Amino acid sequence: MSQPDPVPDPVPDAENHDVENHDASTVHILMCPPQYFGIEYEINPWMNREREVDHDVAITQWEALRDILNSLGAAIDLVDPQPGLPDLVFTANAAMMFERRAVLSRFRHSQRQGEERHFHASLETLGFDVLELPDGFFFEGAGDALFCGKTLYGGYRIRSVARSLQAVAKLVDREVIPLELIDSRFYHLDTCFCPINAETAIWFPDAFDEYGQQVLRSRIPDLITLNEVEAIEFAANAVVVGQHVVTNSGCPQLALELRSRGLEPIDTPLSEFVKAGGSAKCLTLRLDGEDAAA
């Protein structure tokens, strides 16, 4: 595995909270304020440069999400926003976290590649051991790599590539189930699949090929199926904090399903981020390990 050159600029990108200071049981989340968020390019079907982001609304929506997560007991660390990197707000794509390790993303699109060194610096400042994949191994972090129980599920084809998922699984010594994503609207795994605990996950089946659907059905006993209307409200892009499931607003059917299982849905409007193809989960990275989330 090629090790990168050390990141040259020592300026820390994250608030200087050492992760060791957090209680082991604390839910720990990385976010990035949306100062420079906007639609400056188009790399997924949601993005349209003509559909501009309302900046003030984006800031209000982001702060509301942060406050909800805070109120659920999550400790939030921040990446410093950077001009010219409008998608840096989507910290789910920084890396895949596993214990003290962070497997850094290698973005497929050049427009996002500049984010890598900022995420690298932030994660290092926070005390993580940052691992890098070789050149050409596209991998978009927790956007495409989610644990359900002990098994790692990986989305590939649109952003990450299958061989990256194998390499990541090897780095963390876990079994990986690669799932081909076939609908460009659901270009990251976290847009169509959300593990809630070892037995339960939210999904939108049509985003997967026949084989992927079969594997998920055979492996996860309780799959909550989204209808298309809620899938395109990014209902699967949820942040799970204990029994709470935080999503974009506009997912009433999912809320019913969650409540019937004793879970607590919380919704908050994230329409400005949907314009970029992201929602609650994309705006967060679970630093205490993707596997801790479910």
Closest approach of ligand ARG to the CB of residue 89, in Å:
9
Q: Report the alpha-carbon distance of residue 165 to residue 188 in Å, rounded.
A: 13
Catalytic residue status for 188: yes
* Residues of this chain, 180-219, that bind ligand ARG according to CB under 6 A: 188, 190-191
Q: Is 82 in the site for ligand ARG (CB under 6 A)?
A: no
Tell which one of 277, 284, 288, 290 touches ligand ARG (CB under 6 A): 277
Residue (of 78, 96, 92) closest to 34 by Cα position = 78
Is residue 69 within 8 Å of residue 281, measured between CB atoms?
no
Q: Which is nearer to ligand ARG, 87 or 257 (CB)?
A: 87
Q: Which is nearer to ligand ARG, 36 or 261 (CB)?
A: 36
Could you tell me if 276 and 43 are in contact, meaning their C-beta atoms sit under 8 angstroms apart?
A: no
Given 34, 155, 265, 278, the residue binding ligand ARG (CB under 6 A): 278
Q: Which of 32, 158, 276, 287 binds ligand ARG (CB under 6 A)?
A: 276
Only one of the segments 10-18, 22-30, 116-124, 273-281 lies at the binding site for ligand ARG (rule: CB under 6 A); that segment is 273-281
CA angle 40, 181, 255 (to 5 degrees): 85
Instruction: Report the distance separating Cα 40 and Cα 48, nearest Å.
Output: 9
Q: What is the closest distance, in whole angstroms, from the C-beta atom of residue 277 to ligand ARG in the complex?
A: 4
Residue with Cβ nearer ligand ARG (199 or 268): 268
CB 150 within 8 A of CB 131: no
Interior CA angle at 118 toward 122 and 50, to 5°? 130
Nearer to ligand ARG among residue 22 and residue 95 (C-beta): 95
The catalytic residue among 188, 194, 244, 251 is 188
Residue 100, SS3 per DSSP = coil
Q: Is 43 in the site for ligand ARG (CB under 6 A)?
A: yes
The β-bridge partners of 247 are 267
Cα-flanking dihedrals φ and ψ of residue 227, to 5°?
-80, 165
Between strands 239-241 and 244-248, the pairing is: antiparallel
CB of 31 to ligand ARG, least distance (A): 13
Which residue carries 């497997």 as its tokens?
A: 103
Give me the residues that bind ligand ARG (CB under 6 A), please. Answer: 43-44, 47, 87, 90, 92-93, 112, 143, 188, 190-191, 276-278, 282
- Which residues are identified as catalytic? 188, 282
